[in-house]
Structure formats: structure tokens, C-alpha cells
Amino acid sequence: MLSVDKTDFAVDFLSTVDGLSNAGVEFIRYNSFSNILIIVYQNAVIDLLYEDGEVVTLNQIRNFQNFSGEKRINDMHILNDSIVYLAATYGVSELDILNTEFRSTTLTGVEVSSVHVFEEDLYAATEEGIYRISTNNVNPDDFGNWDLLGPSEGFPMDYSAQGFETFEGALYVGVNDTAFRYENQQLEYFYAETGSTLQFMSHEGTLLLVGFRPGRVVYLHPDGRTGPLPFNCIFTPNYAIEDERGRLWYGNEAVGSDFRYAENFEQGFCESLNFNSPFSEAVWNMSIANGQLWMASGGLDQTLGPIFIRDGFASLINGQWTVYNRDLRDELKGDDLNSSDDDIQVFVTSAINPGNSKVYMGSYIEGLVEVDPASDEITAYNTDNSTLQIAQQDIRVRVGGLAFDEDNNLWVSNNSAPAPLSVLMPGGEWRSFQPGCSQNSVLDIAIDGSGYKWIRLGSSSAGLLLFDEGDMEDPNDDRCRVFTANNSELPSNDVNCVTADIDGDIWVGTTEGVVIFECGSSAFDESCIGTRRIVEQDGFGARLLETENVIDIAVDGANRKWIGTQNGVFLLSPSGEEQVDRFTVANSPLFDNNIVDIAVDQQTGEVFIGTAKGIISYQSDAVEGGRVHRSDILVYPNPVREDYEGPIAINGLARDAVVKITDVTGKLVFETNALGGQAVWNGRDYNGRRVQTGVYLVFSSSNARNTSLNARPDAAVAKIMVIN
């Protein structure tokens, strides 16, 4: 959720990080009587946000046990400072927000789209028509006490209803997608839009606003003037309101700027507001390098068919988001400008060239896109200018996976093509390969320490394809091998992801846990079948995450594994034998337990977690380490002030180095191992006491991998000033 200052248009974002209970806001309403913002989520949870920032969460509807089926709140009517009425899939509820209790709930047996109180009567709009009951009725819970309004009350015999609003002493209702004024048991026509559906009514200022889909909002002024509002304000309207200044605000469902405002209803144009964010919560794949995050917003369904999400892809550079899609960049439009059929969309994979920082985004329906962040140039690769081919029995060029090798060759999985593997070399030359092994349903690619390509397969009969091109010039030395549940430790052929760790080992996520291939140059030997770690859980041995559907695996600077599942995130030790941490919606601000993708910034340690409800990041304590210490070891904060209680980071160390902290006399205060290239100290000694004011010396030597590169034991690599 975001707030906009109506004076200077400054924007603040609010999320679970700031105390909200959920992600996925259905709608919000402001109770001006009690100054409480009411936030309704898609899962029917309600947050009450008070002026001081306190958030009170109401879970009652989600926890209702006396009925089954979907629980969703569609609309709300605010009666006074305490009472609000909810229109929901199950019926109508009366909620006391001051006492945070439900006073009554009516199970209607039909979904209620809108609810309203007018002249001491409570109205509920449904597809069966409008039901009404007096607010003085002693038993509103009994739906038998409600009346269906028909011809005797001025309504048609058969109709559906949507939307209510009180305006100038009369009730306005939506009947069969037409707005009527209802008074003295008569419906008086107000407005209808041919071929459109009535979306909403609102009256928070002077005007009555009525929104129609696909694209019209009309107004009614108290003096009787009426008409449509400016067309450049409205695309596919979700809602519109008028504030106390007479300014109109529009929420649209459209690609590009979807939040607009006009100073008044007579102004003939709208101003647009753009926010520093991705286009939507949709995320499928992320890559990070050189401080840049690139995110693909497409997706595949369970049958590996494309999910047609129009959002495109986006970058986060220096704290600023940039969105790329066919509505914003002409380079992503197809030849037919009047149709989106041949647009470049459904981006499902990404890779960043470590040599020149160019970005590559793979589309599952129209090939490959190259973006040069320095020049902002976009180049598309397809059958016309590359070795990429159309998928067999299709008309699309499917790119399912991307990976760079140590020579900066870009390997591209060309799903279902006759030659399903292509490579783009640094000089711009393309080549394609037919790996053999009768497999062409290729997706994600990972490259191990020997340069072998491990490719996730979308086949029900196989899980992984291993490929080695040997000499790029010699097609006769190519090798391939297929791993299945029958010839390896794969528990099933349902492979979700494949990742190479810092040591060059391959970690594979399946629907039944994790398999690790630590074969090195022997990967083509029959003895290489992978291993499933046996870890101790509650005193018993169990295979690593065998009950989890592992969706993604990312590796941080300490070679720890960030495992994304449908039950949150697991952080494992480098070997996978120890669970370092776990994050779920219950113990963290994580938006959703359904994890889609994870990417780690090796330089900063920031972990970006893509969920089904958007991206959230976590500041980890591990960064990339080198073979030796950097000459510019960074300690922050430094000096450590008396009011600082957080961690003290020592950055720029050799990977997994041993770190000792002493006072100036040489007395050991603290000892630890770096996580990758960073060690963390809490400013306390071995007894947990904060150290005294003074200068402390950091001594560090490389771990056992780099014993020949040890720093001299008498050479401090950094100094820390602590003030108490």
C-alpha cells in the first residue's frame, strides 16, 4: 500500500515491513468519524491503521468455521465511528471497529457485492437482486428476515445489482449495469454505458461518481449537471474519489501510469503519478550483478505453457525501478502494432554478462532480448538474426534458460527446438547444438566447475540433461547424459531448479527435496548419481527437505544455500547439513510462503525474495569473499557510538577467513569466521558485556583453503574505535 501527500505528492510505501499484517490488498476505506484507515486483504483479513501508526489485525472472518467456501470481502459501508458493514462472498457482517468485534453475520447463500444503509434500512446487492432489512431488526442473522426487492418495490422481476450510494437525499443503485435513482419505490434512470459493466459508485465530496468498465466514469453534480469525466484520466477504472479540495483521483487497471488526478471535474485533462516500483507484484526470475537487479515478470503454468502476463521485465538500479514492456518500449512491439500476438512478452529467465554488464532476458514466446544499461539500447534475437529456432509443433521461439560460462559465452536453452541449445559468443557469433539423448524440452541452465551444462528438463520421463560441448569447433566430441529417478538419486523427474554453488557443485530442487551432484570432472561417469543429505531432525535422520517442494535455490557469498519452497525460505549451511534460519509469514515480514525465486547480491549480502505476492529483500550477513583480503578493509559503523547496539561489519576479507579482535594490549576479545568476505561483531566480549571505550584491532588469516596466503599474525587488517 502507498500514501500520497496531497500537497507535495511525496509517496510513502507501507508493507509488512512497516507493520501491516498481510500483502495483497483488496481495497481500503477511511473512516473519517474515527480517523481509522481500514485495510481489507484478499484473504479477508482486516487491518485497522490508526493515526499513530498502530495496526490492529482482525482475523475473525478468515477463522470463521461455521461455513465453507471462499472468504472474500467485496465492499464496505461505513455507518459511523464504530459500525461498518461488510459485503462478502458469504453474506453480510456488521463490524464494530472500536471494539474490534463482529456484532452479527448473515449467511445469505449468495455472494453480496455491495452493502449500504439508507434511511434505517440495510441493503445488500447480489446477482439475484437487492435484499433489504431494517437496521432495527432484532435478528438480522436470519436471512429469512430479509426481503428481496421486486416489482412491488419498483424493481424488475429478474435483475442483478451492483453498487449503492446516497446522494442528495436519494439512494442510487446499479441495476443490470445501469445506474438508477431510487426514491418513493420508483427507479429513475440516471446513466448507462452500452457494452459496459458498472464497476463502482463513490460519493466522498461534492460529486456522485459512477465508474463503468471498460472505460468511463461519469459524474452527477448537486445542481443537476452530469457527464463523462476526461478520457485521458480513465483507462479501465477500478475506483475514483473526490477529496475535500474537489480534486479527483483515479485508479486504473492499465499498463503504464495507472494513477491519475485532476484538480476538478471541469478540468479537461489529468496529471499522472508514477511510483518507484515494479509494474506489479508479478515476479518469475531475478538476476543480480554490479549492484543491478533485473527481474522477469512472466511465468509458466504446470503444463509449461506461457502465462500471458503483460508486465514485461524491470530493473532496480541505484534505488530506482525501470519497467520495460510493449506499452512503454516500441522495441518490444511486434510487426502488427494493432495486436499483441507477436509482441515480445512472457519473460521467464534472465542473465547479466559479467564482462560488459549487458542484460539478457529470455521470452518464452518470442526469443531473446539484450539490454545495454549504459546506452539503454534494446536488441531482439530471434530466427532472423540468431541460431534460435521455432519450437516444434508451435509458432513460437521459446527461451527457457540462460547462463554465462567462464569465457562469457551466453548459453541459451531453446525449448522444444530441433537444436535446443544455442550459444552467443562475446564476438557476437551464434552457434547451436543438438545435445542428443533424445531430449529437447530444455529449461533452466547451470554451469558447474568443469564447465559442464546442467539443464532442467520439462519432460515427465527425465529430470536433468548434462551436456559438454568439448571443443566448440568440433561437433563430434559432444557428450550428453540424462538423469532420471531411475538412474540417480533424483526422487522424481519433477525438477524445479538447478544451481551451481561457489565450489562448482550442482544443487537440484525437486518436488521432494534437494539432490546434490558433487562429481566434478567425473559427472559423466555412471558412479555420479547425486546424493541426498541425511540431516538430523528431532533426533531422527531424514533426507534434506524431502517433504518440501523446492522451487528455487540461491547461493550467498558464504556458499550457504537459500532454499525457496511453498512453505517459506530455508537458509542452510554450505553443506546443507545444518539449518541456519527459516523465514515464513508467521515469523517475518515475508509477503507469502509461496516462494517463486531468490537472488543474492554477492557484494552487499542483500537477498531478494520473489513471492507470489511480490518482492521483499532481507539484509543478510554474508558477502562475496576473495582468495585474499582486500587492501581496503571496511568496518562499519566506525567509530561505534555509545547509542549503537547493532552489528559491526568487517568487510573485504578473504572467503571464510578466521577473524580475531583484540584490545591494544593484545588481549583477545572476540573470535569468529567470516561469512564469505564479511565478519560480524556485536561489540561485546566473550562474557556478553559491551567492551570498554578504546581502539580494537582486527587480525585475520585466510581459512584452510588459502593457508599459503595467510596474513602475518602481527599485522592488524583493521582498527575499530568504540565509544561508551
Amino acid 257: pLDDT:
61
Beta-strand ranges (E) seen in 477-613 are 479-483, 495-500, 506-510, 513-517, 534-537, 540-543, 550-555, 561-565, 568-572, 579-583, 595-600, 606-611
Domains and CATH numbers, the chain: 200-273 (2.40.10), 276-427 (2.130.10.10), 634-722 (2.60.40.1220)
d(CA 130, CA 690): 68
**SS3 annotation, 98-113:** CCCEEEEEEECCCCEE
User: Residue 709: what pLDDT?
Assistant: 40
The low-confidence residues of the chain, meaning pLDDT below 50, are 704-714
Cis peptide before 354 (omega within 30 of 0): no
Give pLDDT tens digits for 387-440.
999 999 899 999 999 999 999 999 999 999 999 999 999 999 999 999 889 999
> Looking at 184-304, which runs of residues are DSSP E strands?
186-192, 197-202, 208-213, 216-220, 226-228, 237-242, 248-252, 259-262, 271-273, 285-289, 292-296
pLDDT per residue as tens digits for the range 84-104: 999 999 999 999 999 999 999
Q: What is the DSSP string of 152-211?
A: GGT--SS--EEEEEEETTEEEEEETTEEEEEETTEEEEEEE-TT-EEEEEE-SSSSEEEE
Q: How many CB atoms lie within 10 A of CB 544?
A: 24
Provide φ and ψ at 367, rounded to 5°. 95, -140
User: What are residue 143's phi and psi, to 5 degrees?
Assistant: -65, -20
Res 489: pLDDT: 97
CA–CA gap between residue 428 and residue 301 (Å, rounded): 33
Phi, psi of 330 (to 5 degrees): -65, -25
**Residue 344 in 3-state DSSP?**
coil
Beta bridge partners of 492: none
What is residue 106's predicted lDDT score, i.e. its pLDDT? 96
Distance, first Cα to last Cα, the chain: 40
pLDDT at 712: 46
CB within 8 Å of 590: residues ≥ 6 apart: 16, 568, 569, 583, 584, 609, 611, 616
Look at the block and give the residue holding cell 536488441.
379
CB 198 within 8 A of CB 212: yes
Spatial separation of the C-alpha atoms in residues 254 and 237, rounded to whole Å: 9
Amino acid at 15: S
| Size of the chain, expressed as the number of residues it contains | 724
- Cα three-residue angle 185-191-197, rounded to 5 degrees: 105
> Chain-centre distance of CA 525, in angstroms?
40
Number of H helices, E strands in the chain: 1, 61
Q: DSSP letters of 46-64?
A: EEEE-TTS-EEEE-HHHH-
Report the distance separating Cα 677 and Cα 268, nearest Å: 58
CB neighbour list of residue 231: distance below 8 Å, 6 or more residues apart: 215
In this structure, how many other beta carbons lie within 10 angstroms of the beta carbon of residue 458? 22
Phi, psi of 707 (to 5 degrees): -60, -30
Q: What cell numbers appear for 644 in the block?
A: 549503537
